[in-house]
């Protein structure tokens, strides 16, 4: 074999080897692309599963919220009905005092119930609390303590005494004269039965 023929054979063999290597590289690249593509498909499935979990959690949250809302509605209905029965069954003098404290007509049962359940009980109960505090003091302390209440609270207390049938007419002008007059009425005219009436009024005006 001549040198030229030998060299031609070597060149042909080299070309075939290069082609084989290129083919192997192409196959390898295809395999790599498929391997890369498969995780993306798995990720999509994982995302779908995650979305399903989120939807399930959202559904549970909505159901829980609806159940809580229904529970609150039922509680409010029961409370309203119970208070309606309490107001309807209250003694006349108890309902009269409660209506006066709430600035409502005692015949307006529905209005009384709504005001009791939604109003500021601390404000409406203040005159009864003031009367109870003054009842615990002696005659001298009572006048001083009444004076400390101030004009507005003395007016409210005078109105309460009027509802109990203990005070008539207008409150004396001036804080000191008003306090002295109120102290006299409390020490002489307000009885234990009157305080029991106010206890019943306070119970009637409770929100629950």
User: Domain locations in the chain?
Assistant: 20-68, 121-204
**CA separation for the pair 185, 194 (Å, rounded):** 13
What does pLDDT average to over the chain? 79
Q: What is the pLDDT of residue 21?
A: 36
**Is residue 35 very low, low, confident or very high in pLDDT (cuts 50, 70, 90)?**
very low
Specify the pTM.
0.65
List % helix, strand, coil for the chain (3-state, nearest 5): 85, 0, 15
**CA separation for the pair 186, 173 (Å, rounded):** 18
Q: What is the pLDDT of residue 70?
A: 64
Angle formed at CA 86 by CA 85 and CA 88, multiple of 5 degrees: 65
pLDDT at 142 over 70: yes
pLDDT digits (tens, 9 = 90+) for 39-96: 444 455 544 555 566 666 677 677 667 666 666 778 889 999 999 999 999 999 999 9
Q: What is the pLDDT of residue 44?
A: 52
Q: What is the pLDDT of residue 51?
A: 55
């Amino acid at each position: 074999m001549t040198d030229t023929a030998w060299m031609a054979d070597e060149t042909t063999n080299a070309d075939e080897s290069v082609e084989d290597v290129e083919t192997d590289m192409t196959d390898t690249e295809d395999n790599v692309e498929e391997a890369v593509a498969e995780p993306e498909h798995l990720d999509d499935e994982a995302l779908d599963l995650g979305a399903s979990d989120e939807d399930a959690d959202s559904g549970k949250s909505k159901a829980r919220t609806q159940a809580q809302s229904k529970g609150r509605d039922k509680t409010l209905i029961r409370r309203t009905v119970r208070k309606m029965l309490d107001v309807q069954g209250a003694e006349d003098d108890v309902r009269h005092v409660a209506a006066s404290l709430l600035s409502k007509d005692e015949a307006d049962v529905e209005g009384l119930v709504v005001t009791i359940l939604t109003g500021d009980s601390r404000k409406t109960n203040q005159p009864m609390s003031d009367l109870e505090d003054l009842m615990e003091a002696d005659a001298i302390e009572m006048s001083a303590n009444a004076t400390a209440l101030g004009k507005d609270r003395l007016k409210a207390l005078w109105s309460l005494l009027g509802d109990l049938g203990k005070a008539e007419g207008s409150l004396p002008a001036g804080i000191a004269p008003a306090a002295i007059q109120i102290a006299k009425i409390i020490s002489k005219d307000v009885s234990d039965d009157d305080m029991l009436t106010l206890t019943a009024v306070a119970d009637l005006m409770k929100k629950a």
